[in-house]
Amino acid sequence: RQQSADSASKVRVAAGGPQVASMTTMLDPLPSATGSDPDATGPGRLEVPRPYRIRVATEADVEEYVHTHIALNAITYAHYAPPEFARNRRADYADRVQELTDEIAEAAQAQAQGREPFRQHWVAENSLGTIVGVMSAGRGVEPWERRIVGDAWFDSGAAYALSHLYLVPGVHGSGLAQEMLDVGLPERRPAYLWAYDDNLRARAFYRKNGFAPDGLQTLSGEHWGNMPMSRWVRPDVVRP
């Protein structure tokens, strides 16, 4: 926020609101095998201790995942969100815990049955086991979209959505955001996401990764600060 989704706008308080995939962490370039940033040069180059591990979230991660997600929502948008935005995110905690528990259980059941889950969740953790990033992506339209967007909604043409992707500030510039995006949407998979219009860093990251606004815009809803947001789509690439 999702971002993704994430993963965006939201009228439903708490768990069912829009997931915006945009965040300040999304400018991270793709790291080399050692974790250094291959796109950065000179004295400002950031070297981050490795390894970071990206893995599928489990039921045991739920509370820490939600705490991290809510905290990073507040941090990422603090420079332009109204003050009630962070308060509402904290008030959503119990609903988010239940929602995430249900989604993780559904994903596990889907995989056991040999089908794709509606949403999969991942965490990135450092060498101490601390969660430093959270992400959600999957097949299908975000549940809140038609309700929030209303009659203006139209299909993006992409089968997959990035609901959200957030990293803690201390790993910005490490390349971890790019690694996570490539895990959630492998091989530049066609997908869409929602991004707040004022999150310029995230918009630059998505554009670098082949996403572009498709013209669908809305407000995020009162519970999410009524901030303007846009849908971004990465179309299928015709390969020779």
Contact predicate 33/187, CB 8 Å: no
> 168's torsion region: left (phi>0), alpha (psi -120 to 50) or beta?
beta
Q: Does residue 14 surpass a pLDDT of 80?
A: no
At 60, is the pLDDT very low, low, confident or very high (cuts 50, 70, 90)? very high
Question: pLDDT: is 31 or 229 the higher one?
Answer: 229
The average pLDDT across 107-134 equals 95
Element containing residue 194 per DSSP (H, E): strand 191-196
In the prediction, which pLDDT does 236 show? 85
Nearest to 9 by CA among 178, 148, 174: 148
The length of the chain in residues reads: 240
- From edge to edge, which strands make up the β-sheet containing 228-234? 53-56, 120-125, 131-139, 160-167, 191-196, 228-234, 212-219
At 63, is the pLDDT very low, low, confident or very high (cuts 50, 70, 90)? very high
Distance CA 100, CA 127 (A): 24
At 49, is the pLDDT very low, low, confident or very high (cuts 50, 70, 90)? low
Q: Does residue 40 surpass a pLDDT of 90?
A: no
Distance CA 150, CA 172 (A): 36
Question: pLDDT: is 142 or 178 the higher one?
Answer: 178
Contact predicate 150/86, CB 8 Å: no
For the chain, give the percent of residues with pLDDT over 90: 71
Mean pLDDT of the chain: 83
Distance CA 111, CA 39 (A): 36
Distance CA 169, CA 176 (A): 11
Q: Does residue 30 surpass a pLDDT of 50?
A: no
In the prediction, which pLDDT does 201 show? 86
At 41, is the pLDDT very low, low, confident or very high (cuts 50, 70, 90)? very low
Q: Please, what is the angle between helix 62-77 and helix 83-91, to 10°?
A: 170
Q: Does residue 50 surpass a pLDDT of 70?
A: no
Q: Which of 29-38, 49-58, 133-142, 215-224 has the lowest mean pLDDT?
A: 29-38
Q: What is the pLDDT of residues 161-198, one digit of tens each?
A: 999 999 999 998 899 999 999 999 999 999 999 999 99
Question: pLDDT: is 76 or 9 the higher one?
Answer: 76
The average pLDDT across 85-107 equals 96
